[in-house]
Amino acid sequence: MDDKHRANIIENTDKLINRTKYEKLAHACKAKGLLSPIMLQNLEKIEPDMCVNWSEDEKQYERHKRLFIKITKRGPTAYQELRMILADLKYDSALCVLNALDDDSRMRSIQKREDQKYERQLSGIRECETLITTNGNNNNNSNDMHCIDRSDGAKKELNINKSNCSNEIMLEEFTDEIYPKMRLDVKKSTAVHTHPKLGTYPMQSQYNRGVFFMVNIIDFLSNDEPRRGAEGDAESLLYLFRELDALLNSKYTTNTECFVMALMTHGTRDDDGFERVTFHDGSIVKVEDIERYFHNHICRNLQNKPKIFIFPFCRGNIADMGIKGKIQTDSVSYISGNAKTNIPQLSDVFICYAASPGFKSHRDVEAGSWYIQKFVEMMAANAHDTSFEEIVKMIQAETSKLRTVDGHLQTANSVNMGFNKALFFNPGVWLD
C-alpha cells in the first residue's frame, strides 16, 4: 500500500469507523480474502489488562480500529480492495473518505475497478516478464511457497491475490538437482506431432517450449493438517516438466508456447458452492478468482496459447478419510450447500481436477497424491506421441482404479475451456 493511502486510512480511522459496521465489514474482508480467519480471530482478542472497565462499545471500537490498521499492512492492492468492499456494502460515505485523496480515483464501475486490479496484479506475467516455477527449498518441509516479510512481522505468501511482482518480488529460477522418489523414464519424441483435423498448438521451440509454475503449500499457520507426502509430488512434477523441455524460469513470457500451473494445497467448497483454496497464512481464495487472472483481456502474453491448470486439491468433503494414518485428503472443513458452477469465460484453458465437485482427493503420506502419481506416470510414458487430452483420460482412468482399504475411490475429471486444438509436448525434439 502506498504511504499516502496508508496515511489516509490512519488519519481518518474515526470517520471510517463511524461510517461502517464492524461485523459486516469484517465478514466482507474475510469473504474477499483481504483478511484471513486467523487474522480476524487475533483482532477479536483484546488483552484483559487493556480493557479493564471498558464497555462493550469501547471494546467493539478497538476491534474496529484494529481492523482498519491491519488492512494498511495487507499489501499493495489492499487500498483498492477496501474500496471495492465498501462499494459492495454501500458504505458510500466511507468510500468518499478514501476516494477524496485522489481526484482521478473516482470509480466508474465496480467491474472496471476489478479489471484494473487484476491487470496490475498480473504484471508478474507481463510487465515483470517472469514466470518461474519453484517449490522453494526441497529440504524445508514447512512450506514450499516463497515468501517475504511484511512490516507487521508476518509472512506474505507469493500469492497472486496479494502480490505485485513488478515492485515486490522477483522469482528466481529453480536450478536444484531433482531426485524424485518415483522412478520416471520420460520417453522422448522422434518428431513434432500434429493433428490433421483439429489443428495443433505450436510446441516446437527449443528454448521457449513452456513455463511450469508451481505452488506447493505443506504447512499452515491455522489448524489445518500438514500435507504430508506433498514433497514427493513437487519433486515428481518438477522432474517431469524439466524432462518435457518446459522452462523452470522464463524472462520472456511473450515467446512462451505453453503455460502450466500446479496449485497444491487444501481446498473445499463453501456454502454458496464456490471452490476455495487455503494459503499458508490462512488466507482463503476463490479458485475462480485465480482463474480470472488468465482472462484474455488481462493476460495478453498468453492469448491463444495453451494454459493448463493442475488442481489436485479437494473440492468438498464427501468421502471417508481412507486408511487411518496412511491416507490423507487435501480438504478443509466442509460447509454444506447447493453446488453452483462459477467458472469464468476463458479460452485455450484446460483444467485438471483430482476429484469431482464436492468430493475429496486422496494423498498417500509417503508416495504423495494419487492424482499426481498417475499424472507423472502417464505423462512420462505417453507425452512423446500422444496429445495431452488423451493422456488426461488415461490419468483419470488410472486414478479411478485406486482404492483405500475401506473401498473409497476418487474420480478425477477435467474442464475444457476453449482448448480447441491438440497439444503435443514433443519432448526432446524442436524445429527452431
* Residue-wise pLDDT tens digits, 337-375: 444 433 335 689 999 988 777 666 665 656 567 888 889
Q: Which of 266, 280, 362, 408 is catalytic?
A: 266
| Portion of the chain with pLDDT greater than 70, in percent | 69
- The CATH number for 3-107, chosen from 1.10.533.10, 3.40.630.10, 1.10.150.120, 1.50.40.10, is 1.10.533.10
Which of the residue ranges 142-146, 272-276, 322-326 would you say has the lowest mean pLDDT?
A: 142-146
Distance in angstroms (rounded) separating the CA atoms of residues 39 and 45: 10
Reply yes or no on whether the pLDDT at 186 is more than 80.
Answer: yes
Which of the residue ranges 272-276, 319-323, 366-370 would you say has the lowest mean pLDDT?
A: 319-323
Reply yes or no on whether the pLDDT at 144 is more than 60.
Answer: no
More confident residue, 70 or 114: 70
Q: Which of 29, 314, 352, 408 is catalytic?
A: 314
pLDDT band for position 318 (50/70/90)? low
pLDDT band for position 402 (50/70/90)? confident
Burial of 354 per CB tally in 10 Å (0-12, 13-18, 19+) = buried
Distance in angstroms (rounded) separating the CA atoms of residues 144 and 321: 24
Task: Rank 201-210, 247-256, 374-383 by mean pLDDT and report only the highest.
Answer: 374-383
Distance in angstroms (rounded) separating the CA atoms of residues 268 and 333: 7
User: Which triple of cell numbers denotes residue 180?
Assistant: 524424485
Distance in angstroms (rounded) separating the CA atoms of residues 92 and 84: 11
DSSP H stretches of helix in 306-387? 370-382
| Assigned architecture for domain 147-417 | 3-Layer(aba) Sandwich (3.40)
Reply yes or no on whether the pLDDT at 191 is more than 90.
Answer: yes
Reply yes or no on whether the pLDDT at 324 is more than 70.
Answer: no
**What's the rounded mean pLDDT across residues 84-96?**
88
Q: What is the pLDDT of residue 137?
A: 37
- Specify the 3-state DSSP secondary structure of 14: helix
Which amino acid is located at 429 in the chain? Answer: V
Catalytic site includes residue 314: yes
Distance in angstroms (rounded) separating the CA atoms of residues 432 and 419: 24
Distance in angstroms (rounded) separating the CA atoms of residues 240 and 38: 36
Closest listed residue to residue 415, CA positions, set 338, 329, 319, 311: 311
pLDDT band for position 197 (50/70/90)? very high
Residue showing cell 526441497: 138
Q: What is the pLDDT of residue 383?
A: 96
More confident residue, 42 or 158: 42
Reply yes or no on whether the pLDDT at 180 is more than 60.
Answer: yes
Fold equal for 3-107 and 147-417: no
What residues does each domain of the chain span?
A: 3-107, 147-417
**What's the rounded mean pLDDT across residues 250-273?**
79
Element (H, E) at 26: helix 22-31
- Chain Cα centroid distance, residue 96: 32
**What's the rounded mean pLDDT across residues 198-223?**
86
Which amino acid is located at 354 in the chain? Answer: A
Reply yes or no on whether the pLDDT at 58 is more than 70.
Answer: yes
Closest listed residue to residue 184, CA positions, set 115, 109, 238: 238
**What's the rounded mean pLDDT across residues 75-87?**
87
The rounded mean pLDDT for the chain is 75
Reply yes or no on whether the pLDDT at 251 is more than 70.
Answer: no
**What's the rounded mean pLDDT across residues 213-224?**
79
pLDDT digits (tens, 9 = 90+) for 284-304: 888 888 888 888 888 888 888
Contacts (Cβ under 8 Å, ≥6 apart) of 38: 221, 222, 281, 282
Note if the pTM is more than 0.85: no
Strand partners, 368: 364
Contact of 271 with 335, CB cutoff 8 Å:
yes
